[in-house]
Chains A and B, each alone.
Chain A
Amino acid sequence: MSVDARPRLPLRPFSRAARADAADTSRRAPWPLVGAGLFIAFLALLPLAYLVIRALGSESDVVGFLLRPRTVGAVAATLALGALVGAGTVALGVPIAWLTTRTDLPGKRAWAVLTLVPLALPSYVVGFAFLAFFGPRGSLQGLLAPLGVERLPSIGGLFGAVLVLTLVSFPYVALATRAALLRLDPAVEESARLLGDRRMTVFRRVTLPVLVPAIAAGALLAVLYALSDFGAVSLLQFDSLSRAIYMQYGASFDRSLAAALALVLVGLTVAITWGEARLRARAGTYAASTRRRPTVVRLGRWRWPSLAFLTLVVGLALVVPVGTVGWWLVRGLAQGEPLRLVIDVALDTFMVGAVAAVLAVILSVPVALLAARYRSRRSHFVESAAYAGYALPGIVVALAMVFLATRTLPVLYQTLALLVAVYAVRFMPQALGGLRSSLGTAGPRLEEAGRTLGDGPVRAFAMLTVPYLRPAIVGGAALVFLTVVKELPLALLLAPIGFETLATEIWDAASSGFYARAAGPASLLLLVSIGTVALLLRSEDRAR
């Protein structure tokens, strides 16, 4: 028979008997789980609910206020900030993820670590460092002075805010993309090549589309970070909503207007979360259990541009902030700044962070279970509520909680208990993400095996699923700890009088212009951040 003469095929060789559809039976969630989930959703939405009540109960002209050019400008600025940071983190994170997983880049592992560390740097520390380095009379200008450079253009405003927030949040995208790349079965890309596509085409038609949900998930975290950020935007004097809310809160006695502004921001966040949730539904189905490692791409003449790109990113995101803080620390020590104070403040801060991290993980378990195991409208609501709580700007949560506490629970007002509880609820989504996707891959079979061997449902979960989830739990807890330790606005407004955290110390000093005094706690925070990253990496290794 000639190879080219292929007849049309009338036969239908696949009989229907061969079909065995494993139908997905949707199960009902047990009521304690639903109860816990709804309670957590209630906690997460509490500040939001308060804001709505405040805004509705306002005696001022809320609508008129929202239509003021200044308000509209703040909304536009926030949208621009979110979009640019999202785009920036994708532009940095995706190539970095690809370079550090798929290529023969020299020092791949080291680059992977170095590009992860900026995630740990507090935005206001980086903002302060950029001001002190690139600013009109900063270190760079000092270095360039001999060349006749009198004054550098301002680093503040939209450009500075986007730069700083992109540099501290691109690791979200890099991490998510890396994980998705490692999960992608190499045979998928090989299939595409055998079907006639060149390597670049395969990347465009297969690899990238498969990665999109992961990239989007990472970018969403970065955008939420940017929208919620208070420290960097206010230091760099960029009028995003978060700063506008703070100004409104500080400037007038009518806090309902601040509440109205905050609601606008919440609206933006809900829209983003909704879009991402649609993508995420797809992402869950993309992961393959693969044993094979993908073939390594030889960079060839792209090797040096790749190295230059990574050097630039790490230089800006890591070397400049660390170097600048270090320089001010040395100056401060030379001027006799006391270190003792820094240590006391540090211990207080770590205690708050640790308790909040444990609490956040505990809170995230029912939400993750509902979202991964019992997909329903209710689960979706609980998860969205958690993310909505996370998306609320810290300054607004602080505002809402101050009022709620003073009006309904004065006993709690300005207590550490309230501060820790608010932290745990607010940052729970950071523990939730990893836990949810791990639960997605663990599947209920593990527990079902335990049930057949005589375990009750709780024991099966504790003995079988929890150990499987340990990397996710450790990673989530570390992430929450890291975030709480460097959190600024809540600590500013909710901490008991006289209780300082490293963040508030830095803030006070930096905003008063005492850069040398800020450098002590700042360098400690940098050290802690880097240590936490090391912890994260270890748990990632163990998971592999």
Chain B
Amino acid sequence: MSEALAVRVRGLRRTFGDVVAVDAVDLDVRPGEMLTVLGPSGCGKTTVLRLIAGLDTPDAGTIEIGGRRVAGSGAVVPPERRRVGMVFQDVALFPHLSVHDNIGYGLRRDPAREVRIRELLELVDLPDAAERMPHQLSGGMQQRVAVARAMAPRPDVVLLDEPFSSLDAALRTQLRGDVREILRAAGAAAVFVTHDQDEALTLGDRMAVMVRGRVEQVAPPEVVYGEPATPFVATFVGTSNLVHGELRDGVAHTRFGQVQIVGEVRRQEGARGLVVLRPEHLDLREVPDGPADAGAWRVLRRRFTGTEILYEVAAADDARLWVEAGHAVRRLRVGDAVALRLREVETVMFPMTHGGLEAPRSLAQRRPDLPDAPDRFEVERVAEDEDHLAHADPAIAVDEGRDLRG
């Protein structure tokens, strides 16, 4: 690439006492790109942002902004000389300055200060609010002023630290789109930290998923969703069913049938592991309610999102799955018997390696009814011994050979 990266982070590490907040983090932000950083609270994403801004100093690693080393290897560039703009979670407008002066704060030496302020007021659609004080503004207006203030000196990178988390959902969606347009139009690179996966998926040109101080995956949102790099990513982003499978000729055999596996893994003939099945990978069909059948699935609950219907279904052995049903399917009731079928899709598989595999406790760990509660995600180690696989957790017992009805 001829042009320098907007931000280049390598081997970043920051500890607070015994707590490793950020560990071995590598990140690239390309010019004009918006990178979203998604992770549960406490995963270190805000610390990464503060390290880039220069508000905190890394214990190890390097940071470059626009090709210029700003931290690491002896370089210490103070925040005021990094040409970085930041929008804080708590807005943090200067309470003693008017909107006009807040936006103009970073333009002290700019001869075209007034023109620029007017331009930004127009941009954030507050043309008449110039002389108002921050406390006279609503939360959404305050956040827009904060965006304008950060953009005013034309920074190379804009950092946004969960800027909309204190706003209501409608306003958040609105501002999300607005901010994306503003940043795009200004051509500024941006790093947007959030714990809201909708925000990360819709806003990011690429997204990074962090957990416990580490970056698990950096990729465009579709790739993160379609080809999650780790079981954590699979369950944290979107709804996933993790089911046991075994690879043969690049195809995973599961209790629901066969599914194409993408990526390098498919070459590991005979490998066993966890296959990611999204709700839309499965199809469900109502069956006549007969006598109790070991192979039958029953509807446990139902979730209507407006664009789709998700059903959580349970087998007699208490295995649970989330399945998406099209509108064509007659509305099912809790307790209805259904048959499942795998659609023709490609997905990923996480083989059980000798190092062990971190696997979620149940099939459908990430519950769609708790979309904003990523903190509840827990993982536990599955026993390394493959012999224990079938007994490790009855809920994910591999159950090949069972004839799925339908």
Interface residues, chain A, with chain B CB atoms under 8 Å away: 1-3, 5-9, 11-22, 185, 187-188, 190-198, 205-206, 209-210, 212, 282, 285-286, 288-290, 295
Contact = CB atoms under 8 A, between A and B. Distances in A.
Contacts of B188: 3, 6
14 contacts: A1-B32, A3-B3, A5-B187, A13-B181, A13-B182, A15-B125, A18-B175, A188-B94, A188-B95, A190-B53, A193-B54, A195-B106, A195-B149, A195-B153
B28 interface: no
B153 A16 contact: no
Nearest to B186: A6
Nearest to A24: B136
Given A9-B185, A12-B125, A194-B80, A3 B90 contact: no
A17 B174 contact: yes
Contacts of B55: 190, 193-194, 295
A290 B189 CA distance: 28
Contacts of B53: 190, 194
B174 A18 contact: yes
Nearest to B154: A6
Task: Give the 3 A-B residue pairs with the shortest CB-CB distance, closest first.
Answer: A195-B106, A14-B125, A187-B92
A426 B236 CA distance: 63
Given A197-B80, A288-B95, 5 more contacts: A3-B187, A6-B186, A7-B187, A9-B122, A190-B86
B32 to A, nearest CB: 5
Contacts of A210: 94-96
B331 interface: no
B178 A185 contact: no
B82 interface: yes
Given A190-B55, A198-B80, A20 B96 contact: no
Contacts of A16: 125
Nearest to B126: A14
B313 interface: no
Nearest to A188: B92
A237 B263 CA distance: 93
B140 A18 contact: yes
A282 B96 contact: yes
Contacts of B185: 7, 9, 11, 13
Nearest to A16: B125
Contact of A1 (B168, B179, B187): B187
A387 to B, nearest CB: 24
A325 to B, nearest CB: 43
Contacts of B119: 8-9
B178 A13 contact: yes
Interface string B23-40: 000000001100000000
Contact of A12 (B6, B80, B123): B123
A295 B174 CA distance: 34
A19 B153 contact: no
B106 A196 contact: yes
A9 B123 contact: yes
A190 B32 CA distance: 24
A8 B119 CA distance: 8
B45 to A, nearest CB: 16
Contact of B178 (A2, A18, A193, A288): A18
A529 to B, nearest CB: 35
Given A194-B84, A196-B153, A198-B78, A14 B94 contact: no
A298 B338 CA distance: 67
Contacts of B88: 187, 190-191
B156 interface: yes
A interface SS class:
loop
B300 interface: no
A26 to B, nearest CB: 14
A16 B141 CA distance: 11
Contacts of A20: 138-140, 168, 171
A270 B256 CA distance: 85
Contacts of A11: 181, 185
Interface string B125-146: 1100000011101111100101
Contacts of B122: 9, 12
A98 B1 CA distance: 48
B76 to A, nearest CB: 14
Interface in B239-254: none
B351 interface: no
Contacts of A15: 125, 174, 178
Contacts of B93: 188, 191
B356 interface: no
Given A13-B181, A195-B149, A290 B187 contact: no
Contacts of A1: 31-32, 187
A102 to B, nearest CB: 15
B66 interface: yes
Most B C-beta atoms less than 10 A away, residue of A14, A22, A196, A290: A14
A8 B182 CA distance: 11
A20 B171 CA distance: 9
A3 B31 CA distance: 7
Contact of B94 (A3, A7, A12, A191): A191
B78 A193 contact: yes
Contacts of A22: 138-139
B61 interface: no
B318 to A, nearest CB: 41
A194 B82 contact: yes
A212 B96 CA distance: 10
B388 interface: no
A7 B92 CA distance: 28
B177 interface: yes
A259 to B, nearest CB: 42
Contacts of B150: 191, 194-195
B362 to A, nearest CB: 34
B85 interface: yes
B226 interface: no
Interface in B378-406: none
B94 A192 contact: yes
A107 to B, nearest CB: 22
Interface string B94-120: 111100000001101000000000010
Interface in B8-55: 31-32, 53-55
Contact of B171 (A2, A18, A188): A18
Contacts of B140: 18-20
A195 B102 CA distance: 10
B154 A19 contact: no
* Interface-centre pick from B79, B124, B139 (highest chain A CB count, 10 A): B79
Contacts of B156: 3
A22 B140 CA distance: 10
Contacts of B182: 9, 13
A195 B105 contact: yes
A193 B79 contact: yes
Given A1-B31, A191-B92, A6 B133 contact: no
A277 B175 CA distance: 37
A5 B31 CA distance: 12
B138 A192 contact: no
Contacts of B135: 285
Contacts of A7: 185, 187
Contacts of B144: 14
Contacts of B32: 1, 3
Contact of A194 (B66, B79, B177): B79
Contacts of B126: 14
A1 to B, nearest CB: 5
Given A194-B85, A195-B105, A21 B138 contact: yes
Contacts of A8: 119
Q: Which of A6, A8, A194, A285 has the most CB of B within 10 A?
A: A194
A515 to B, nearest CB: 49
Nearest to B179: A13
Contacts of B175: 14, 18
Contacts of B171: 18, 20
A210 B94 CA distance: 8
Contacts of B134: 285
